[in-house]
Amino acid sequence: MTSPASSTPLPHPLDAITPAFLEEILGDEALSWVRERNERTEKTLADHPDTAPSVRVLEEEILSVLDNPQRIPMVTVRDEWAYNFWTDGEHPRGLWRRQNYQNYLDGSDDWQVLLDVDALARTESRSWVWHGAAVCPQDPSRALITLSDGGSDADETREFAIDSKTWVSDGFFRPEAKGSLSWLTRDICWLSQPTSPDTTSPSGYPLRACLLHRGQSVEDANVILQADPSAMGVWARALRDAQGERSIVEVMEDFYTSDRFLVEGEPGELGPDSPRRLPVPRSAEATVWNRWTLAWLREDWSRQGQTHRAGSLLAFDTDELFASPDVAPSTTLFEPTAHEVLEDLTLTRDQVVLTTIRDVVSHLTVLVPPSSGVAEGGGAWKTVGLDVPGGTDGGARRIATAVVSPVDKQKSNDLWIVTTGYTEPSELWLVQPTVDEPEGVRSSATSVRQAPHLYDASNVTVTQHFAVSKDGTLVPYFEVSAGDSSGPAPTVLYGYGGFDVSLLPAYNPAVGRAWLERGGTYVVANIRGGGEYGPGWHRSALKENRHRAYEDFVAVARDLVGRGVTTRQQLGIQGGSNGGLLMGNMYTQYPDAFGAVLCQVPLLNMGRFHTMLAGHSWIAEYGNPEDPQQWQFIRTFSPVHLFNPERSYPSLMLTTSTKDDRVHPGHARSLGYLAEAAGKPVLYFENIEGGHGGAADNQQRAHNQALGWAFLWRELGV
């Protein structure tokens, strides 16, 4: 087994190529190694040149943005109440609070605090991080609250009495694990929880969907569906719409392959025979809404002599689909084009709202179903465009993103729409689409809250460009430039390129304060592996085609240099998680293209990734290293295997979190170890808590970000 560029045999994928102690997350030797490097990094970046701002100044600026009291308090509406979770300088772990919904719409800031997470953490001597709350639909005086110790994915859920602001002593409780607990009725919850080896997937997720009745222990919950041991995980949730209360249980084989089961009947009478599998492709995203089944295709689907393209959205009458799966008629609600794809769909009481992206910019459409099923001749779906609130950008193409969610999908068609852009602070709109005959749909939009301008964008310009990748593919990217653009400027190029994730324009005042206000240029690359042009854009960089994402990214880098935006020495790159894998490959495969690399919570050892924490769930994205044929291509994008101690590399900074139970910190530790041993310029910082997000509160978040920006200014700001 040899590298494409060398005749030197590579190690077996599971062989350790760095000391084993680095993978002992809380091992004494490992934590000692981490502390030494953290101290070295803090000291190095504290001693900053005149061309770089200090960590302290950057941290203060970023924290002022993160804790700004004028940012929008986003809410969840239940009956007459608007619920919000809020953090600030005095409450870094946060407050769960509520106020009257109409008062919220009127601009009130008079909140009733329900739970102080900082106080709870002090009382219980735990590092609690908020993971969410769900108010019981049948009894709005009760809620399920989920908390994580230190910010890891593993968390616990408790029942909370809202009126008395106390925990329900004999209420529902789910102990710490990578699971979930959600309301079905006041006295029955859906539970997905790994409780033993045979109920835990190789990725650490639950393999059972159960009904937990009030008073039952987690171990005694009624099993409704048990997945195969090789599955990625099982999750269940209740559906509440015009058809009443039903549920969906999803059995995931991997991120892109699932079986979804509809569960109907009286909650107290449900059993293992209740779930019925939705007869749609396993690769499709599918749900049930009112009388319809909606299937969002990841792959082409041929049926009844017609091929429905990947990225299309189809609607079936659910009863017709179950009665005649092979011949049930369907309606195509959306079909992608070369420039426009479906990014999201939102379900309200009577309408489906599509969010599409046209060359990575948002557009909205409202769909109104016919009164009865397709086979019954109930008429056609109405399709009406919905303007993105906020108007146009002076007649020019507005580079903005719209994020849509229902206000209360059981009771109304009202929508929350948040608009944002690189220089456009978030604005929250209440949009009320109304069905009008025969015109279709009209709507009104009211601005509810406006986030403040938190950096000086008066001289910032946003433009979209296209680079040409190695195989001729046009790759879009956004350039956010500040100050005098007549000459090359320090530039940070950000990318992700995986898991069908789209990088859309969004306001990021921390970037504005730390980078743009000081004359830097910020660039976001929409490379293959993401979802910017639909499922095909994602699939084109899977597994053996992973190299295309990396070729796209370096094509953008070279285009920036070729256009005179920056120079190689002034070009830094940044990415985290799968984007950290991208950074690792830029560092090892294209070291001459960049001046600095900021690699955050990364995957880097692709020979062992599937054996570490949640890594097994990513085999569908990267491949299986234990398959010799797949290892042949996986090894070509495994940074720790590609690292060559004889080669010159740009300055590297690696950051991760000890509490990250999704991407093992051993990835970052390994490349840091190799680079340091070879005498390469490398800094390493590992936050002790914070989970995959890297920080447990805004203070930690601001410090981590400040270290990264200080590193980039230090390396690129000459």
Q: Residue 579 is inside which H or E element, if any?
A: helix 578-589
Residue 661 binned pLDDT confidence (cut-offs 50, 70, 90)? confident
Q: Which member of 577, 638, 651, 670 is catalytic?
A: 577
- Cα angle for residues 366, 431, 440 (degrees, 5° grid): 35
664 annotated active-site: no
Q: Looking at the chain, how many residues does it have?
A: 718
CA distance 488 to 491: 9
Whether 369 and 315 have beta carbons less than 8 Å apart is answered as: yes
| pLDDT of res. 395 | 58
* pLDDT tens track for 177-225: 999 999 999 999 999 999 999 999 999 999 999 999 999 999 999 999 9
Which residues are bridge partners to 2 per DSSP? 9
| pLDDT of res. 115 | 98
Cβ contacts of residue 39 below 8 Å, gap of 6+?
none
* pLDDT tens track for 546-573: 999 999 999 999 999 999 999 999 999 9
Return the structure tokens found at 130. 């908020």
Least confident of 293-307, 415-429, 499-513, 684-698: 684-698
| pLDDT of res. 376 | 46
Instruction: Indicate whether 10 pLDDT > 80.
Output: no
Write down the residue that tokens 């085999």 correspond to: 619
Q: Residue 96 is inside which H or E element, if any?
A: strand 95-100
| pLDDT of res. 557 | 98
Q: Which long-range contacts (CB under 8 A, 24 or more apart) does 249-256 make?
A: 249/209, 249/224, 249/225, 249/275, 251/225, 251/227, 253/282, 253/620, 254/617, 254/619, 254/620, 255/499, 255/617, 255/618, 255/620, 255/621, 256/283, 256/298, 256/500, 256/620
Residue 4 binned pLDDT confidence (cut-offs 50, 70, 90)? very low
Q: Is the dihedral of CA 639, 644, 647, 649 positive or negative?
A: positive
Helix, strand, coil share of the chain (percent; to 5): 25, 35, 40
Q: What percent of the chain has pLDDT over 90?
A: 87
SS3 23: helix
| pLDDT of res. 419 | 97
Cβ contacts of residue 615 below 8 Å, gap of 6+?
203, 603, 608, 609, 663, 664
Instruction: Indicate whether 176 pLDDT > 80.
Output: yes
Whether 605 and 667 have beta carbons less than 8 Å apart is answered as: yes
Q: What is the mean pLDDT of residues 452-480?
A: 97
Which residues are bridge partners to 251 per DSSP? 234, 259
| pLDDT of res. 473 | 98
SS3 256: coil
CA distance 560 to 467: 9
Domains of the chain: 20-64+456-716 (3.40.50.1820), 288-336 (no CATH), 337-453 (no CATH)
Write down the residue that tokens 């914070």 correspond to: 690
| pLDDT of res. 5 | 44
Cβ contacts of residue 279 below 8 Å, gap of 6+?
321, 322, 325
Q: What is the mean pLDDT of residues 142-164?
A: 96
* pLDDT tens track for 194-205: 999 999 999 999
Q: What is the mean pLDDT of residues 475-482?
A: 96
Give whole-number Cα distances, 24 to 30, 34, 220, 692, in Å: 6, 12, 34, 17
* pLDDT tens track for 53-81: 999 999 999 999 999 999 999 999 999 99
Least confident of 250-264, 336-350, 428-442: 428-442
Whether 530 and 503 have beta carbons less than 8 Å apart is answered as: yes
Query: What one-character DSSP code corresponds to residue 349?
Result: S
Cis upstream peptide for 438 (omega within 30°):
yes
Q: What is the mean pLDDT of residues 648-669?
A: 94
| pLDDT of res. 374 | 44
* pLDDT tens track for 384-438: 889 999 876 555 678 999 999 999 999 999 999 999 999 999 999 999 988 765 5
Q: What is the mean pLDDT of residues 471-477?
A: 98
CA distance 695 to 702: 9
Instruction: Indicate whether 377 pLDDT > 60.
Output: no
Return the structure tokens found at 239. 């559906």
φ/ψ of 450, rounded to 5, equals: -130, 120
Whether 245 and 238 have beta carbons less than 8 Å apart is answered as: yes
91 annotated active-site: no
Cβ contacts of residue 272 below 8 Å, gap of 6+?
223, 224, 225
Return the structure tokens found at 94. 């946060």
pTM of the model: 0.93
CA distance 382 to 436: 11
* pLDDT tens track for 89-113: 899 999 999 999 999 999 999 999 9
Question: Which of 557, 532, 527 has the alpha carbon at shortest distance from 545?
Answer: 527
Whether 574 and 520 have beta carbons less than 8 Å apart is answered as: no
Q: What percent of the chain has pLDDT over 70?
A: 94
Instruction: Indicate whether 9 pLDDT > 70.
Output: no
CA distance 541 to 527: 9
Q: Which member of 48, 641, 664, 692 is catalytic?
A: 692
Give residue 32's Cα distance to chain centre.
32
φ/ψ of 427, rounded to 5, equals: -130, 130
